[in-house]
Amino acid sequence: MSATIQLPSSDLAADIDFFVNILGFHLDSIYPADDPAVAVISGFGLAIELDTHSDNSPYSITLRCRKRSEKHSDQSMITAPNGTKIYILEEEPAVIQPSTMHELSVSKLSDKNDWVIGRAGMHYRDLIPSRLGGAIIASHIHIPNGGLVPDMVHFHEVGFQLIYCYRGWVKVVYEDQGPPIILRSGDCVIQPPEIRHRVLESGDDLQVLEISVPAKHITKIDHEMQLPNETLNPDRNFNGSCFVHHIGATSPWSNWRIPGFKVQKTGIAQATQGIADVQIVSPIAGAETVLHQHHGDIVFYFIKEGSLTVNVCEQEKINSTHLSSGDAFVLPPNTTMSFTLCSADCEMVEVSLAADFVTTIIDSENKY
């Protein structure tokens, strides 16, 4: 059982700074990472939940328990004589995966998307605004100025999480994985559920693609662990997934499942036991794909280099969208489509959930 006192916050960053740096509390968790709204801090025997969506007056206390006692089995809120509201809630599983609400979604870097300040002062751009009903969050993260990153050892309660280095470089360190590693453009890692890690340093204009499943998840701070830690166990299983560090510059290419394109495989399908896969795809000598459909739950693309046109057949009408580096899109299952007008340097990051899904070739001749 745990208990927190809930306080409203109109400026979460300022309140965290006050409680942590002035009063000496510890930051325990914060969410969501891309645009923080709730933070839990603790100290001096007290746990406080700062909530930007709360206007509690009088203030409230939340009791979270594995199972409600018989005494309060039919109550979710009781009021103390002084007016304080006590909410009695059963603890939820750390990860709840919502059903996917499919849609065709395109995000262009040239659009006037709002960048928001997220965890550790990083700039976030939302690549799937609907989050497909909460099933996934895809963020383009930007750290304009290099140097040491004011990060803490932390972990995420997620089902799957990818960090793909799009531009620049970043130094990170992971639990049981040895000394810090440097991710450069084209490299990626998956951060298995609850692996402790810390961002140490970055070069100027660092940009990464972060994919997390589900969209809503909690980031928690580990005040005890120091990284790198003494244990070296690179094959450790973290809640069903293993750590992967893919190095793009040395990874071989092979034929993709769709004719005309080549692929770099990352090993993420095996490391996640089929939960997800990440592949880098590129046209062979400016080739174009044939008409095809994918039948996966979520298939997301991020344009890493170059440009191409995505042709989608909707209600017997062809809609063509030209995309370039920094753009992204996600397609519903069973959408008939093709890639055309691919530049010679075109590269895309494909993220699929689950890893194994069927792709059907509709027409081996027509490409739109």
Residue 276 confidence (pLDDT) above 80? yes
- The pLDDT tens digits of the residues spanning 248-262 come to 999 999 999 998 999
Domain residue extents for the chain? 2-90, 100-368
How far, in Å, CA of 106 to CA of 126, rounded? Answer: 11
Q: What is the mean pLDDT of residues 197-218?
A: 95
Phi, psi (5° rounding) for residue 305? -140, 155
If one compares 184 and 75, the residue with the highest pLDDT of the two is 184
Do residues 168 and 122 lie in contact, with contact meaning Cβ atoms separated by under 8 Å? Answer: no
- Per-residue pLDDT band for 368 (boundaries 50, 70, 90) equals very low
If one compares 320 and 115, the residue with the highest pLDDT of the two is 320
If one compares 69 and 109, the residue with the highest pLDDT of the two is 109
Q: What is the pTM of this model?
A: 0.84
Distances in Å between the alpha carbon of 119 and those of 59, 155, 229? 26, 12, 23
- The pLDDT tens digits of the residues spanning 172-202 come to 999 999 999 999 999 999 999 999 999 999 9
Look over the chain and give the mean of its residue pLDDT values, rounded to a whole number: 89
- The pLDDT tens digits of the residues spanning 285-328 come to 867 788 899 999 999 999 999 999 999 988 778 899 999 999 99
Q: What is the mean pLDDT of residues 324-347?
A: 94
Q: Which pLDDT score, from 0 to 100, does residue 208 have?
A: 97
- The top-level CATH class assigned to 100-368 is mainly beta
Q: Which pLDDT score, from 0 to 100, does residue 58 have?
A: 61
Per CATH, the architecture of 2-90 is what? Answer: Roll (3.10)
**Cα Rg of the chain, angstroms:** 23
